[in-house]
Amino acid sequence: MALLSPHFLTFLIFILTISSVEICAAGSGGIAIYWGQNGNEATLAETCATGRFPYVNLAFLNVFGNGSTPQLNLAGHCDPASGGCVSLSNDIRSCQKQGVKLMLAIGGGIGTYSLSSKLDARNVSLYLWNSFLGGKSSSVFRPLGDAALDGIDFDIELGSFLFYDDLVRYLKSYCKKTQKVYITGAPQCPYPDRLMGSALNTGLFDYVWVQFYNNPPCQYSSGNTTNLINSWNLWARSLRAKKLFLGLPAATQAAGSGFIPADVLTSEILPVIRKSPKYGGVMLWSKFWDEQSGYSSSIVSGL
């Protein structure tokens, strides 16, 4: 048998190494987390520095649309109205240098928001682009300073479903070669989501982290994983998005129902849902609750 040359052996080892990395990466997932709704949680820079969260949603812009003056609420972290949050630009840049994607979460369970028309959707999109993303306008105040976030996260839980599909299309139209606008969303697990269904149907969402909690028909409860997995499979079959995430509370106190013990998640649920081509990982509510429970540390190796 002919001997292989040293150069060919080196090349073969390189190819096998690359292939194994790709195979491992194919089934791997990441953790998306919501930050901003408790002033006692870690700073944004500290959150990114853990290395556990490739996606961070800054929550929330909870007043917008229908002629209202948009309002950003970051709880006890800083006061956007007085300019107290512009210093977050340094944190944003620090996160992005580490490869973390940062989205501004709009909506939430408490607030006043709706879209009254397609024109209203366009106006809100321009506000978001110029105030938080890659747009520039000398007449627009940027609540988080001059750093640009990576995208917008839709957590629409109040009001009407109308015109959010238009808002998504307008935001995507601002994509440039130098900056992509990521669109993400957190619908409730009953399919289709009554408020975000039309927006999701645009097919323009990059990541969708479905809230599999506070919804008994499609969540984990009392050792029963069937309802959750059936709902996941329905979303995975039906959703027009690049990646699907399992949205969970990071502690029992973080939601009314639907908490999954870490060992159950890693041994009974993740091995099943990881088989989906759309599997992207897990979303957690929220950074504060994760700090209380250590949940992300308990599950990260099983993603």
Cα→Cα distances 17→3, 22, 23, Å: 21, 9, 10
Token pair for 163 = 């015109």
Rg, the chain, Cα only: 20
Q: What contacts 24+ positions apart, CB below 8 Å, involve 134-140?
A: 134/174, 134/176, 134/178, 134/179, 134/181, 135/174
Question: Which residue is it, tokens 């504060």?
Answer: 288
Report the amino acid identity of residue 214.
Answer: N
Spell out the alpha helix ranges (H) of 145-269: 164-173, 197-200, 226-238, 262-264
What is the C-alpha to C-alpha distance for residues 84 and 71, in angstroms, rounded to an integer? 13
Q: Which of 22, 41, 46, 157 is catalytic?
A: 157
DSSP 93-124: HHHHHTT-EEEEEEEESSSEE---SHHHHHHH
Token pair for 202 = 């645009």
Cα→Cα distances 26→191, 205, 207, 303, Å: 27, 20, 16, 11
Q: Is 46 a catalytic residue?
A: no
Nearest Cα residue to 41 out of 108, 97, 96, 91:
91
Catalytic residue IDs:
157
